[in-house]
Structure 1
Amino acid sequence: MKTVLNSITAVILASTLVACGSSSSDDSSDTSTPVTEVTGFSYDATDLIENVTEQVIVDGYEMLNSKATVLHNATLTLLENKNETALAAAQQAWKDARVFWEQGESHIFGPVDSLSIDPHLDTWPLNTADLEALLASNTTFSADNVKNFDDGVQGFHTMEFLLFGNGVEDNDKSIDEMTVREMEYLIACAEVFNIHTQSLVDAWVISANADDEPAYKDYLLTPGNDKYSSELGVIEELVNGVIGIVDEVGNGKIAEPFGTSKDTADTSLVESQYSWNSLTDFSNNIVGVQNVFLGTFSDENDSPGLKAFINAGDAELAAKVETQISAAIAAIDAIAGADDMPFRQAIKDDAGRVRIQTAIDALGELQATLEEEVVPLIKEWNL
């Protein structure tokens, strides 16, 4: 049941006029002000918006950019040393950068969309035919060249393929399997990747698109502009963002390769299949939802997130959403089972498919709650 925080009931005024006379009396009349009840809840979202913008979105993109720099440096070290240690370090650097990108998919709006940074960094599926052709050609692999390549042969998944191999039998590419040509392409991709992550940070904290345009964060922090007319628009953006990624994970990233049976399961649709990082990706997507909901990357920050807004209108609903987010993350993490099965194998395994269906169901329940209960709650907010 929703908590009504702001209820106004008009006072009913009644007066009866009695006139005394000989044999006649004046007409008396009662006038009443109709009862007017305004329901809804009040909440000042200023701190919430500031916290999620600065401590979740901007901090997350800055961490992504920092990890991208580490990744680029690791690829340079790999070419210089050409040994298993350097390769393992570059592989781990790729995974570390992936964490903050996947968590950031809970708020794919603003410059990451308008500057086409999303497709530059994370186009899937990878165009392996063109990638192999480039590796076999005499093309010079420099950042300037790679930046002009099609999105299908740069970004996360190109680097993933070069670092981990094709992922069919294993994700443990050895240094002996990696050519100098692949290392050179990897370095150029990592440099371009880092350029894009820096552009993303700059767009949020310096200028959204041009020198005369404010930092994108300012649009959220000072609503009443051509992007967000009020705090309501910002809250709607945040809610729509988390709904979008919950839908994408449950109905796209997981359900599409899962198919309707083992016979229709399609491993070619599995994202991050070369590194066997798919389940970690999916989990981090929903951890990103949790970050926006709680307003924090860790327990150390108790500043407000969407939970505070929902709690102001309906405490039971806030608790429900929090429980469902945790349940969805746990269900995704459980897909691997005791044998730590990669997702591309789990979709072809009977027991694995049962665990996957549990995760799909958990994500569906979370999505339904967000769409059917949280979105209507926004309409009850008295700004």
Structure 2
Amino acid sequence: MNNVLKKTGMMMAMAAIISLGASCSDDNNENQSGDNALSVNEQKMEAITNQYVTNTIYQTYGAIADATNQLYENLAAVTEKFKTDPQSVSQSDIDNICQIFLEAREEWEKSEAFLYGAATDFGIDPHIDTWPLDADGLATALKNADQVAKLEGEDGIAYAGGKLGQELLGFHGIEFIIFRDGANRKIADLRAEETNEAFTKIGAHVTGLQELIYATAVAGDLRDRCFQMEVAWNADAPQSHINRVEEVELPFTVNGGSKSYGENMLAAGKAGSTYASWQEVMVTILQAGCENIANEVANTKIGNPYSGEDVNYIESPYSHKSFIDFHDNILSIENSLYGGRKADGRDTSKSIIQYMKDNSYPSLASLETAVAEAIAALETCQSTLGSFVQNVNNTLVGEAQKKVQILDDELVKAAGWFATQK
């Protein structure tokens, strides 16, 4: 996601107000067995939240952390080989890095339905996923031999994260180095000088080694910030990840306190939690999480280029994986609604969808249809068109946008309904 979640604060405030009103209702004690006992519905919401935090958020952030760590290690190893002998680096080395990048990218896009929390509070989202890449700025940076030297080695990670600026960091900086025109970068091109117009117009004679040094430093910073998200949510993240976050002095607790974001959400309604009720948690998942990314996919990621408002506002323009990015964003919504990731312990019996079934939500069929049709429309774009870059005005793109807009509307309705639950 390119921008900080501008609407999140407003939505979460609204959620708090709505859910507070619901919790103060005269019949809120319905189905309770004690003064402070949870209603039957609240018990279900608590179980849903446990499943959501454990099998959607923890699993996804763990996968992102592992994939970005592997990406950094592989880039660092290939860069060292390239320093010694560029001829020793093969096309398969580059292809392997590209594959790892795409795996990391997939996991990140599958997390965008829960960008509220650590990803926003610590500015991680814009730090690692701002586009378009500032190609002119990158050309200037890599033309400067002293700056490239500062990007080398372990110290280069901190230099990249602190000095380059978000338009040169994250996924899209790495993407520029290892992909071009929808294909893996050719090793022959990396053995020569950079020919991108942003470089040639200022006479920047930048080598593939300099580009790989830059990509390695940025990948290290990307890994560190993904470790930060994982550790911030999951107090039981791998100790090596916790140690790294502490080493580079990145914050990882809620409001500087002792709770992780997972612990905070799982303590809803208790002293010390920022969530006043389980209803507020449900509204947050649906509106600050799912609806927020549906809105962005429909009206910004697809909408800006498709409408002509900004034809250059294209996510993943070098790998041509935009449709896959959008598709994975909707899968992040599906995982949030249906009780987790399919491959990692999904349990629909403890899901928002099942709760809606049990409580006769009147628009459930419309919501489920909207999820399925949005996913299908984006799969059609990918299989039929392949590249969003080359087909921004295609009618299939417009149809996909409408399907995601319908999903957006259904999520708004669902959040409003959940706010009335007791």
Question: Which category describes the TM-score, using the shorter chain as reference length?
Answer: 0.7 to 0.9
Amino acid at match of 2:415: V
1:236 aligned to which of 283, 305, 330: 283
Q: Hey, what does 1:35 align to over in structure 2?
A: none
Which of residues 189, 192, 205 is equivalent to 2:234? 205
Deviation at 1:364, TM superposition (A): 1.4
In 1: Cα distance, 2:93 partner to 2:316 partner:
21
| In structure 1, distance between residues paired with 2:97 and 2:124 | 22
2:199 pairs with 1:154: no
In structure 2, the residue matched to 1:102 is: 109
**Conserved? CA contact 1:41–1:381, under 8 Å:** no
CA contact (8 A) 1:43 1:312 kept: no
1:53 aligns with 2:60: no
Separation in 2 of the partners of 1:174 and 1:274? 13
1:190 maps onto 2:219 in alignment: yes
Instruction: State whether residues 77 and 86 of structure 1, in contact with CA within 8 Å, keep that contact through their aligned partners in structure 2.
Output: no
Distance 1:209 1:380 in 2: 27
- State the distance in 2 between where 1:211 and 1:334 align: 45
Instruction: Please report how far the alpha carbon of residue 103 of structure 1 lies from its aligned counterpart in structure 2 after TM superposition.
Output: 0.9
The TM-score with structure 2 as length reference comes to 0.74
Structure 2 equivalent of residue 31 of structure 1: none
Matched residues, number: 331
**Percentage identity across paired residues of the two chains:** 22
Q: Is the 8 A contact 1:347 1:356 kept in 2?
A: yes
Q: Does the C-alpha gap of structure 1 residues 175 and 290 become closer, same or farther in structure 2, counting only changes over 3 Å?
A: same
**Mapping 1:1-80, distance limit 5 Å:** 42-44=41-43, 45-79=45-79, 80=81
Offset of residue 171 of structure 1: 2.8
Give ranges in structure 1 of 5+ residues lacking alignment. Answer: 1-7, 9-39
The amino acid across from 2:374 in the alignment is A
1:124 and 2:131 correspond: yes
Structure 2's unaligned 5+ residue stretches are: 1-26, 28-38, 82-87, 191-207, 236-251
* Shift in Å, 1:271: 0.8
Whether 2:364 is the aligned partner of 1:364: answer no
Q: Tell whether 2:294 aligns with 1:254.
A: no
Deviation at 1:150, TM superposition (A): 0.6
Q: Let me know the Cα RMSD of the aligned residues.
A: 2.1
The question of whether the paired residues in 1 share the 8 Å contact of 2:280 and 2:419 is answered with no
Cα distance in 2 for residues equivalent to 1:375 and 1:236? 5
Give the AA of the match of 1:171: A
Kept in 2, the 8 Å contact 1:123–1:152? The answer is yes
Work out the CA distance in 1 between the residues paired with 2:259 and 2:340: 25
What is the rounded CA distance, in whole Å, between the counterparts of 2:405 and 2:161 in structure 1? Answer: 38
Structure 1 consecutive aligned stretches of length 4 or more whose deviation exceeds 4 Å: 209-212
1:103–1:287 Cα contact (<8 Å) kept: yes
Task: Say if 2:377 and 2:399, in contact at 8 Å, map to a contact too.
Answer: yes
Q: What residue identity is the alignment partner of 2:142? A: L
Decide whether aligned partners of structure 1 residues 376 and 41 sit closer, same or farther in structure 2, where only a CA change above 3 A counts.
farther
Taking a change above 3 Å as real, the CA distance of residues 171 and 219 of structure 1, as seen in their structure-2 partners, is same
Shift of 1:204: 1.1
| Counterpart residue number, 2:389 | 344
Cα distance in 2, alignment partners of residues 271 and 330 from structure 1: 20
SS at 1:120 equivalent: helix
Query: Residues 251-330 of structure 1: matches in 2 within 5 Å?
Result: 251-259=299-307, 264=308, 266-298=310-342, 300-303=345-348, 304-315=350-361, 317-330=363-376
| Alpha-carbon distance in 2 for matches of 1:187, 1:100 | 20
Cα distance, 1:211 vs. partner?
A: 7.2
> What CA distance in whole angstroms lies between the structure 1 residues aligned with 2:310 and 2:390?
10
Per-residue deviation, 1:158: 0.3
2:138–2:168 CA contact under 8 A, matched in 1 = yes
Q: Is the 8 A contact 2:265 2:281 kept in 1?
A: yes
Which of 377, 391, 400 is equivalent to 1:331? Answer: 377
Tell me by how many angstroms 1:43 deviates.
4.9
Q: Does the CA contact (< 8 Å) of 1:41 and 1:312 recur in 2?
A: no
Distance 2:55 2:373 in 1: 24
Structure with higher Rg: it is 1
Matched, 1:143 2:188: no
Check whether the contact 1:336–1:346 (CA below 8 A) recurs between aligned residues.
no
**Bigger helix share:** 2
Q: CA deviation at 1:59?
A: 1.2
